[in-house]
C-alpha cells in the first residue's frame, strides 16, 4: 500500500518532469497516411508508422483508431491491442524492448542485399552452413 507522503512525492516528481520534458497533448491515427500522429506540448508533431513500434506492428487500422493519451502525457495506450507506447523512449529512438529492437535489426542486417553477399550465403549453405561452435572443455 502506498503511503500518503510517497504519493505526494511521486506527484511532485511527475509535476517537475512534465515541466521539463515534452508530453502528448493530442494523438490520433491517420488512416490515409497509415501513421500515428502525436502533437506534443512543445508544438512538435511526431508521426510514425505503427509497424515500427512493438505491439503495434500487426495492428489493423480499426484497432489503431482507438487511442488514448495516458494521464501523465508520456504514453499512448491502444486499448484494443492492450499496447502501450512510451513517448520519451520513442523520441529517443527506442521503438520497443531491447529484445524486440535487436530482432528488428537482425531482420534487416541478415538479409542479402548485394549479389556478392547472396552468392556467398548460397555457397556457405551448400557446405552445410555456419560451423557449430565447439564447447570449451
Strands of the sheet containing 68-69, edge to edge, are 68-69, 75-78, 83-86
Residue 66 contacts residue 80 (beta carbons within 8 Å): yes
User: pTM here?
Assistant: 0.65
Domain ranges of the chain: 13-95, 97-128
pLDDT means per 10 residues, the chain with 137 residues, are: 85 84 94 95 92 90 95 94 90 66 62 72 74 67
Query: Is 13-95 CATH 3.40.190.10?
Result: no
Amino acid at each position: 500500500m502506498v503511503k500518503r507522503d510517497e504519493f505526494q512525492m511521486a506527484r511532485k516528481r511527475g509535476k517537475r518532469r512534465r515541466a521539463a520534458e515534452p508530453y502528448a497533448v493530442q494523438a490520433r491515427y491517420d488512416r490515409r497516411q497509415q501513421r500515428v500522429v502525436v502533437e506534443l506540448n512543445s508544438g512538435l508533431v511526431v508521426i510514425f508508422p505503427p509497424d515500427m513500434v512493438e505491439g503495434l506492428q500487426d495492428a489493423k487500422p480499426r484497432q489503431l483508431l482507438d487511442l488514448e493519451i495516458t494521464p501523465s502525457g508520456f504514453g499512448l495506450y491502444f486499448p484494443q491491442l492492450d499496447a502501450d507506447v512510451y513517448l520519451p523512449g520513442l523520441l529517443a529512438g527506442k521503438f520497443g524492448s531491447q529484445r524486440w529492437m535487436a530482432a528488428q535489426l537482425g531482420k534487416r542486417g541478415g538479409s542479402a542485399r548485394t549479389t556478392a553477399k547472396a552468392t556467398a550465403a548460397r555457397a556457405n549453405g551448400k557446405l552445410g552452413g555456419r560451423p557449430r561452435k565447439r564447447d570449451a572443455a
